[in-house]
């Protein structure tokens, strides 16, 4: 678990010139069974962008729950319109 968290943090740092956001969120119980973590959720996101594209890494996990997994982790890219 520690290795995955270090990997995600390393990816966030690798995004040079990135902006990092952290916050709390809530989700509806209608999200079950796909996601059944208790509220509130912790979100941390690191993002870098240029004129046309943005790149990000994000972690979402339940604050009060202890999970067997590593939360929801994702990295991706997008296009600005």
9-68 pLDDT, tens per residue? 666 666 556 788 888 988 887 777 777 778 898 998 888 888 899 988 888 888 888 777
Rounded distance between C-alpha atoms, residue 34 and residue 19, angstroms: 29
Rounded distance between C-alpha atoms, residue 17 and residue 19, angstroms: 7
Q: Please, which pLDDT band fits residue 72 given cuts at 50, 70 and 90? A: confident
Rounded distance between C-alpha atoms, residue 15 and residue 75, angstroms: 11
pLDDT, residue 62, reads: 87
Q: Is the dihedral of CA 75, 4, 44, 25 positive or negative?
A: positive
Residue with the bigger pLDDT between 76 and 16: it is 76
State the residue range of the domain holding 51: 2-79
pLDDT, residue 20, reads: 80
Domain count, the chain: 1
- Over 44-67, what HEC string results? EEEEEECCCEEEEEEEEEECCCCC
- What's the mean pLDDT in 64-78? 83
């Amino acid at each position: 678990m520690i290795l995955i968290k270090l990997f995600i943090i390393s990816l966030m740092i690798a995004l040079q010139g990135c902006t990092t956001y952290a916050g709390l969120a809530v989700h509806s119980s209608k999200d079950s069974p796909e996601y059944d973590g208790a509220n509130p959720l912790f979100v941390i996101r690191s993002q870098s962008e240029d004129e046309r594209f943005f790149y990000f890494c994000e972690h979402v996990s339940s604050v009060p729950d202890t999970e067997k997994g590593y939360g929801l982790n994702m990295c991706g890219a997008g296009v600005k319109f």
